[in-house]
């Protein structure tokens, strides 16, 4: 009987504490042009980190971005921009490429490179970005500042006429911070 219960426990022991999750990550986006600076915050990012495989996944609810100006928020969600009713999520699915340099059991700050697929409005592009994994007293957090280049390639923010100038930059700076717990 003891053996059986041990066997039953084995899978949970083997896979124990390899998957971390947050449902409250913070993403800030920043766009700057001659016309104006635009910034928005989102505190509803869901993300997972698998310490065994190095897989990282992010899901960002588009409608949770809050802008200082209500009008900007309205434009952001509109059909010709993010079309958030049709595409309510931004997704990134990738892997830590230098997984072996992270010691998940020891406190410290580990620089990581994450490569994977970013999907906005059903358009998927491969990106590779730098970030930091911080481990402190068994708590795991992830930080990154990176730039999504060529936002119009994701069918976002293309002005209707070519003559019209775009008020949104082609490159959007993203700042992310999330604190993870064992799933």
Residues that bind other proteins (CB under 8 A): 19, 21, 23-24, 26, 43-44, 46-48, 57, 59, 61, 63-64, 69-71, 73-74, 77, 84-86, 88-89, 91, 93, 177, 183
Q: Compute the distance between CA of residue 167 and CA of residue 118 in angstroms, rounded to an integer.
A: 23
Query: Nearer Cβ to other proteins, position 113 or 119?
Result: 119
Q: Which of 179, 176, 182, 181 is nearest to 30 (CA)?
A: 176
Output the smallest distance, CB 140 to other proteins, in A: 15
Q: Compute the distance between CA of residue 57 and CA of residue 157 in angstroms, rounded to an integer.
A: 25
Output the smallest distance, CB 56 to other proteins, in A: 10
Query: Nearer Cβ to other proteins, position 26 or 158?
Result: 26
Output the smallest distance, CB 115 to other proteins, in A: 15
Q: Compute the distance between CA of residue 161 and CA of residue 62 in angstroms, rounded to an integer.
A: 25
Output the smallest distance, CB 1 to other proteins, in A: 31
Query: Nearer Cβ to other proteins, position 143 or 170?
Result: 143
Q: What DSSP letter does each residue of 110-176 carry, written as one string?
A: EEEEEEEEEEETTEEEEEEEEEEEEEETTEEEEEEEEEE--GGGGT-S--SSTTSPPSS-SSEEEEE
Residue 92 structure tokens:
């990134």
In the DSSP assignment, the letter for residue 66 is E
Query: Nearer Cβ to other proteins, position 136 or 150?
Result: 136
Query: Nearer Cβ to other proteins, position 15 or 171?
Result: 15
Output the smallest distance, CB 64 to other proteins, in A: 5
């Amino acid at each position: 009987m003891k053996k059986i219960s041990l066997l039953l426990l084995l899978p949970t022991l083997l896979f124990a504490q390899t998957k971390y999750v947050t449902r409250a990550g913070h993403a800030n986006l920043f766009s700057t042009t001659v016309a104006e600076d635009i910034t928005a915050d989102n505190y509803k990012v869901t993300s997972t980190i698998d310490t065994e495989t190095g897989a990282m996944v992010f899901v960002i609810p588009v409608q949770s971005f809050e802008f200082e100006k209500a009008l900007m928020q309205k434009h952001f969600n509109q059909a010709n921009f993010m079309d958030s009713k049709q595409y309510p999520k931004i997704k990134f699915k990738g892997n830590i490429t230098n997984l072996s340099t992270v010691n998940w059991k020891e406190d410290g700050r580990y620089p990581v490179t994450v490569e994977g697929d970013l999907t906005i409005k059903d358009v998927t592009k491969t990106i590779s970005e730098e970030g930091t994994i911080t481990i402190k007293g068994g708590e795991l957090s992830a930080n990154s500042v990176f730039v999504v280049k060529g936002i119009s390639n994701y069918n976002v923010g293309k002005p209707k006429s070519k003559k019209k100038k775009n008020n949104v930059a082609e490159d959007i700076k993203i700042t992310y911070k999330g604190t993870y717990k064992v799933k």
